[in-house]
Structure 1
């Protein structure tokens, strides 16, 4: 059995309305990553880092990687294009892009339902293809041996959780909304499949003076 540790990237450019505008860390996002790097170093470290190719993922990986361990990028760990799906939802159903946490919480399951039902069209990555590449990437990390940390995004983490626990889309959407920036998740992979062993840990943000640094968006 091999354990794989997944980390969500640090806080990105909140308030963005496109993938290109969103894809950079905020000042707080960089600090979150540095704090996590210090925590991981103090608790045993890791042998290598794997991240997606998105800027927010690669930058988080670099900041976490205080001891300059080998870092490999894998596009299969990239997030799905939430902003494009949101535009499709608005064009089809007139549902506007969310402007606050409450409307975002309602928006996520609507976007996932559109995508899962095939409403994104043939030129957009399908829900099934996304799920398949995410699972393959996790299996390849495990196949390379223990000691890796993987820096990715909410959709990837929520998808692996849903696969491990057999969750329906509605519950997956709720889980999507609970994944904090730079939170730590662990999965065990063996001959029986994928097993969730830790969800949403933030030991580097649990200090009393860092509670305000716990962010979802």
Structure 2
């Protein structure tokens, strides 16, 4: 990523989801910290990225799990923060949905899988608490982060979260909310995703690669939490 965006130049963007956080948490503060496995996943991915050639910089959101993942990659390059790469406020949206529709916040993976489409559908329709970021505002800020990164020289890694990656993938592929929900549930921890940006046109070229976790001895580390 990071070739100057001039004329019709295509810029490649590499996005990484953070490592495993505190699965089962019921609020953002409790969730926002890598587990021991999350730190290990980041270290392994860093080793794989170094084998693939040099990067000039890392940009991450300012959430703890994103910053910890970026630092854990240990690529030896400058790390800067762009809060526009932060995750959507899932716990805030979940609390709003509970207040307006009586839908309980999930406490297991099966309930979470049923909960996600409900949250995203009501959010997309503008049915959440007015103090929360709207769906359109979320899309605008994450696209802004991509355009900012695309204008910089050299190859850049962006460390972000599931909602950002799933939303960008849905935008690139023209998916409806039902199909976007399926993507949301399949973004593995420290998975690698690649996009191409041509002006305002976004294309998905790689989804969910985990070269650092494909060895049988690391199958246990293929997590989604």
TM interval, shorter chain, is over 0.9
For residues 104 and 18 of structure 1, the distance between their equivalents in structure 2, rounded to whole angstroms, comes to 14
- 1:34-113 alignment to 2 at 5 Å? 34-64=43-73, 66-113=74-121
For residues 36 and 19 of structure 2, the distance between their equivalents in structure 1, rounded to whole angstroms, comes to 9
**SS of residue in 1 equivalent to 2:203:** strand
Equivalent residue number for residue 122 of structure 1: 130
- Taking structure 1 as the reference length, what is the TM-score of the superposition? 0.97
Equivalent residue number for residue 30 of structure 1: 39
Q: How many residues align?
A: 216
CA contact (8 A) 2:24 2:108 kept: no
Deviations, residues 133-167 of structure 1 (Å, cap 9, x unaligned): 00111111111134000000001101110110001
**SS of residue in 1 equivalent to 2:178:** helix
For residues 194 and 146 of structure 1, the distance between their equivalents in structure 2, rounded to whole angstroms, comes to 19
1:191, distance to aligned residue in structure 2 (A): 3.1
- Taking structure 2 as the reference length, what is the TM-score of the superposition? 0.93
- 1:191-210 alignment to 2 at 5 Å? 191=199, 193-210=201-218
1:192, distance to aligned residue in structure 2 (A): 6.0
Equivalent residue number for residue 171 of structure 1: 179
For residues 155 and 167 of structure 1, the distance between their equivalents in structure 2, rounded to whole angstroms, comes to 14
Over 3 Å off, 4+ runs:
none
**SS of residue in 2 equivalent to 1:197:** strand
Unaligned runs of 5+ in 1: none
